[in-house]
């Protein structure tokens, strides 16, 4: 079986980690200290979640001991709700979820898990037609609706007019209901400015959600989707705990690397993974405790059904972890592939993610404009983690001199590598130890493969 070459030293203790360099304020929310980990329903179930199939995934997460590694959020995407209650708050589809969202939250909490739901901003045409009274006010939904502007990037919704006092009360009423249900996470989808079907501006709505969540009795993680505008990155960071930096990673149709072209069942394809290598770069300064760059679902867990080769799977997981992105799976956890399970439970790679110090691509001369990339993250004690990727479809040799890396880090590793006491490199996957070459790090990389190494101080 062809696996990527992964090489690393053991990670430094979390107490030694450097703080990320960010110039924006994190939200006043107990959630978001570290990137969240868990499972999300969209990739596998799309808009047909039920109490039965969601609980089955939660049970499988526990059976595979993923909770022991930090995977604890079970998030239901689109399809859980059925219209609105008498105050305009989304209500659960009791045919699909007989125990309601509060019952689902109780089930998850009883097993040490957290529970999340899905929402769109704005006022839908259906809600406007229903026109209920907003809880705690005498105002109706129509009184806070601006029908001249889009309410989300999804179409068929209208903007909330926050010049009307009842608009803030409406947001508070939704958060209070989710708080009563025991909700730990809300995915706010089709947020603008950003990607979607139509232009929309939800900036003030996000500020009001942030303010309401700050008064909830429990930490509620607020995640923004999809494909947010980087022009508003400081606002996303100050109001939310995570934000999508790209379009959906799912394969909506025939995948170019499907084992059988007649089967359109792969979760993703390499071309969608590869987009993230360049697109996340501009977002790196905004990731840190309180809020994180979301690269979308990790389509790992089902072997060939992932739509990725073993090398591609390891490169995907490595990029997500060195980017300190949320680690949430989209696969069928009831059909877990043993090799995928070993990858996603690699404690050392998970520790890189949870440390919260995102890596940055190095501007190395001979790698410029090529399909090879080197990424580095440096810790407080002077040690670092170096990841090298071959994004090309052909095997390649990559050679990085220690002096070249020293010039970028202002360190003297090259001198130590040439000394009588050369540093030892530890392979995070195989566990093998290797003495550092005095001159350079030379790698033979398969197509779409990667290599990750910790450089001692």
Domains, the chain, ranges and CATH? 21-245+280-294 (3.20.20.70), 361-455 (2.60.40.1180)
Question: Per-residue pLDDT tens for 145-177?
Answer: 999 999 999 999 999 999 999 999 999 999 999
**What average pLDDT does range 189-196 have in this prediction?**
96
pLDDT digits (tens, 9 = 90+) for 381-434: 878 889 999 999 999 999 999 888 888 877 788 888 898 888 877 777 777 778
pLDDT computed for residue 16 by the predictor:
33
Bond preceding residue 193 cis, omega within 30 of 0: yes
pLDDT at 140 over 70: yes
More confident residue, 328 or 25: 328
**Helix, strand, or coil (residue 74):** strand
pLDDT attached to residue 376: 92
State the pLDDT confidence band at 255, using cuts at 50, 70 and 90. low
Structure-derived torsion over alpha carbons of residues 336, 340, 346, 349, reported in degrees to the nearest 10: -130
DSSP string spanning 375-431? Answer: EEEE-TTS-EEEEEEE-SSS-EEEEEEHHHHHHHHT--HHHHHTSSSPPEEE-TTT-
- Encoded tokens for 363: 């501007």
Element holding 126 (H helix, E strand): helix 125-130
Regarding beta strands 73-75 and 114-119, do their DSSP bridges make them parallel or antiparallel, or are they unpaired?
A: parallel
DSSP state letter for 298: B
Q: Sorting pLDDT into bands at 50, 70 and 90, what band is 179? A: very high
What does the pLDDT read at residue 103?
A: 98
DSSP bridge pairs for 451: 388
Helix (H, G, I), strand (E, B) or coil at 230: helix
Q: 296: closest CA among 129, 75, 60?
A: 75
Task: Please state, in angstroms and rounded to a whole number, the distance separating the CA atoms of residues 31 and 184.
Answer: 9
pTM of the model: 0.93
With both helix axes pointing from N to C terminus, report the angle between 270-279 and 310-322 in degrees, rounded to the nearest 10.
Answer: 30
Residue 11 per-residue DSSP state: P
CB within 8 Å of 178: residues ≥ 6 apart: 101, 117, 186, 216, 220
CA atoms within 13 A on the CB side of 255: 25
Tell me the average pLDDT across 295-324.
Answer: 97
Does 203 score more than 80 pLDDT? Answer: yes
pLDDT band with cut points at 50, 70 and 90 for residue 7: very low
């Amino acid at each position: 079986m062809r696996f990527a070459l992964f090489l690393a030293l053991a990670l430094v203790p979390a107490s030694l980690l450097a703080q990320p360099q960010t110039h924006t304020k994190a939200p006043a929310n107990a959630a978001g200290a570290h990137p969240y980990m868990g499972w999300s329903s969209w990739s596998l179930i799309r808009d047909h979640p039920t109490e039965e199939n969601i609980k089955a995934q939660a049970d499988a997460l526990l059976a595979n001991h993923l909770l022991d590694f930090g995977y604890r959020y079970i998030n239901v995407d689109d399809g859980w709700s059925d219209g609105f209650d008498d105050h305009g708050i989304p209500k659960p589809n009791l045919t699909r979820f007989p125990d309601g969202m509060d019952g689902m939250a109780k089930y998850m909490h009883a097993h040490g898990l957290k529970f999340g739901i899905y929402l769109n901003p704005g006022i839908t045409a259906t809600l406007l037609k229903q026109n209920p009274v907003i809880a705690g006010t005498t105002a109706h939904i129509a009184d806070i609706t601006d029908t001249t502007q889009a309410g989300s990037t999804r179409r068929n919704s209208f903007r909330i007019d926050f010049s009307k006092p009842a608009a803030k009360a409406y947001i508070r009423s939704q958060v209070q209901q989710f708080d009563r249900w025991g909700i730990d996470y809300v995915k706010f989808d089709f947020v603008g400015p950003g990607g979607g079907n139509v232009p929309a501006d939800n900036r003030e709505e996000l500020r009001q959600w942030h303010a309401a969540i700050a008064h909830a009795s429990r930490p509620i993680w607020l995640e923004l989707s999809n494909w947010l505008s980087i022009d508003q990155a400081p606002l996303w960071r100050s109001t939310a705990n995570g934000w999508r930096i790209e379009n959906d990673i799912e394969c909506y149709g025939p995948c170019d690397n499907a084992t059988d072209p007649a089967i359109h069942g792969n979760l993703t394809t390499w071309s969608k993974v590869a987009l993230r290598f360049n697109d996340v770069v501009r977002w790196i300064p905004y990731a840190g405790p309180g809020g994180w760059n979301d690269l979308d679902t990790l389509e790992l867990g089902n072997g060939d059904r992932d739509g990725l080769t073993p090398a591609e799977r390891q490169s995907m997981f490595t990029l997500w972890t060195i980017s300190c992105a949320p680690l949430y799976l989209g696969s069928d956890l009831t059909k877990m592939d043993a090799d995928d399970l070993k990858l996603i439970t690699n404690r050392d790679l998970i520790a890189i993610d949870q440390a919260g110090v995102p890596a940055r691509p190095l501007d190395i001369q001979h790698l410029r404009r090529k399909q090879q990339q080197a990424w580095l993250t440096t810790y407080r004690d002077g040690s670092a983690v170096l990841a090298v990727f071959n994004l090309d479809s052909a095997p390649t040799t990559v050679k990085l001199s220690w002096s070249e890396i020293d010039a970028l880090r202002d360190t003297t590793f090259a001198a130590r590598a040439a000394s009588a006491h050369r540093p030892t490199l530890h392979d995070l996957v195989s566990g093998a130890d290797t003495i550092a070459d005095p001159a350079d790090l030379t790698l033979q990389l398969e197509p779409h493969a990667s290599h990750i190494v910790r450089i001692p101080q």
